[in-house]
Structure 1
Amino acid sequence: ANYASAQLTAKLQENGRYQYIYTSDATFAYDEEIPQLAIYTVNDPLAGAIKPDPKPEPEPDEPTNEAVLVDSAAYNTLFGTIAGSYAGTSEEWKALELAAAGRASSIDVTTLVANAKAVNGSPETTNLQRFILALTAVGKTEEAAALVQTMATSDISTTYVNGQAFALLSYESGAYDVPANALETEAELVAKLLSAQQASGGWTWKGAAEGDDPDTTAMVITALASRVSDASVKAAVDKGLEALRAMQHEDGGFRASGDAVDGPINVSSTSCVVVALCALGADPAASMVTESGATPLSALLSQATSDLSGFIYNGAANDLATEQGFRALVAYQGLKNTGAAYNIYTQAKLGQAGLPAEKQEEESAPAPADKPVVDKKALAKTGDGSAPFAAGTAVLALGALAAGIVATRRMRVSDELSLRR
């Protein structure tokens, strides 16, 4: 800027030779001789140019941590034992999980349908959404469609953030059009979720500023996972993932808001995060790695019972923890089997998430009457190549399975856990 105006405004002349210099030193004299100054010509701008040394790679914001390995034999035992114990179930979440694992034939579909009809008059929290997802998973789409109608026209079904998230997942789980008399369209549900995001990036159960809840944050991310091609959705998901990372503990796991800060992680919260990562195509055994090498998956598996028959809560085997932990295992297995983003809620009907040996056995056996026909088109609706996390190399590993956790944790009310999920 201190040079003569003629030098600033004069046009470059063809075949002319010019020196290009840069300095931040105000005392620099233009006619001072500078060794090895690059010389360029207009018609050949690279002639004689001095190539600078390659720019060093910037240091990462945090060290690259190596994930702990997983004992695949223990993992398989845990998965298979829980799945076997659910044979004959008519419970909605267990039915969804067995269908996803390729075990739809072991579900009591008749009772499941009867229970779904009975709950049609109780649209509170996620009552309808759970059955919609389960019925879709076992191929009972007509019965599910009746619940979709009730859900869409009942404001109480989407009062809370988790209800809004699971309403979106319900629509996406099958070919369910939003009814003309629906109180909210899918776009409006997405808008409500985005507006409910806290400044910190997380979500809370009731949408109030009560502190980020990892469970709810993970549920919303799972519901938005297939929509990250939308810039505003992706920005929200990215911010939500940052919030989850801030809530992660050094052992790789999570505890719900309201739990003692110094208390142990819980299976429910950690499972929600594992499911969300799988829905984005991120390997929970290789993503969110702490300095100790712990991951969400290794943290989850550290909560297995000593006999590998289930999961613990507050230091003891617990049915709810086992069911939610199994849901995360099935989501993870779906990610591994498909090699792509896997959303257990919308892809359960495809039966892709069984252990490899089970998968082969199921495919070789005659399809049961209640087993849904595989809908290959449904895969295209889930996942997105622009997911905020790149899926890590498959690491089927299990950290040391703990026999138990310390029992000093404040007991949470089990009814609240059920309501959130």
Structure 2
Amino acid sequence: MNDNASRVTRAWVLHPDIKSDPDRRLADHALAEAMALAQALPELELVGGEIVPLKSVRAGMLFGSGKIAEIGQALEDQHIELVLVDGPVTPVQQRNLEKAWGVKLLDRTGLILEIFSDRAATREGVLQVEMAALSYQRTRLVRAWTHLERQRGGLGFVGGPGETQIEADRRAIDDQLTRLRRQLDKVVKTRALHRAARAKVPYPIVALVGYTNAGKSTLFNRLTGAEVMAKDMLFATLDPTMRRVQLPDGPEVILSDTVGFISDLPTELVAAFRATLEEVLAADVICHVRDISHPETEEQAQDVREIMASLGVEEDRPSFEVWNKLDLMPGDAADAARARADRDDHVFAISALTGEGIEALLAAVTEKVQGRKRLVDLSLGFADGKKRAWLFAHELVEQERQTDDGFEITVRWTAQQEAQYARL
């Protein structure tokens, strides 16, 4: 067996449940999410995970000596090579724990960076990952991996044998960051040119945002027929994917699928991935897709709102909450979600998997993009052939009756379409 090409790394997840943490999450759900994060990397064989109750964090070792010995024995018994700690770990803690346990160790930020590295597909995404990883590594200057970067064609920026830039001092990393920023600026300018070209069309932009694994890509695929990765996996989508979509009884729009948000997203990642989310900043309508079946759906939604606010998205931006995964809910709970959506014009209960509720959502997006339609009666003379042809070309005519003087036409249109007609 080729050790570099096919060997997987046996991994174990630890979730420190810190009693003194005011932002403490439900430990069972936090561990489940951390394990799902680990499963997003195909190179890992996730052996298991555990919750480690802590009254407070030990500065040098994170855990107490007794717990370190207990965990160390379990790791040895299971032949664990990599420990993933679901939370922040200081460089000193990382070095001490690696020495005590004889394993590699990554904290939550390091794991997320590895996933981002594995998923980024565009030039922009790759650059952003490198910048985020270097910003993270700058405070550590310790190695993270032994062989995974060679499997994926090079992840030198998060460490590995022979990667001298990781061993370099902060000045070398800063030089690298400067170089990457210049490259990223060029890529972002190119994307800005593409946006300017779209603005001349113009197609309104409808952006799908939400917590990771909320079902955005499944919804995107249903609406566009695109083959975007839509697995039950955290961070399945990392690069903005855009498609032109014809709304039913409405205009064409550009639908944008974005990277999923997650709680405790490291600040360097928020900054580095701002450009990935720039389509959200330019969006005419934002659809916040929520996994309404998840026990922490409210906390996830709040995380999304906070990150959106940090990106500079105004609260008054036209938006909808899309309560997804009705198909995973018990009957009573699903009915309650549908009832709430019926009462609230800004909430839509759907299943991206089965298609339930999609039609109502699209109708609302259409109305938000082009405004409410109303019926108007027009009288056109025979000489107004250009205006009549325009009405038919835009499929606005509800009915038409010919008279001695011309045509009596009933149209259904928006204020925007009425203004366009007036300029003919």
Q: TM-score, normalised by structure 2?
A: 0.31
Structure with more contact order per residue of length (Cα contacts < 8 Å, sep ≥ 6):
1
Q: TM-score, normalised by structure 1?
A: 0.31
Bigger fraction of residues in strand: 2
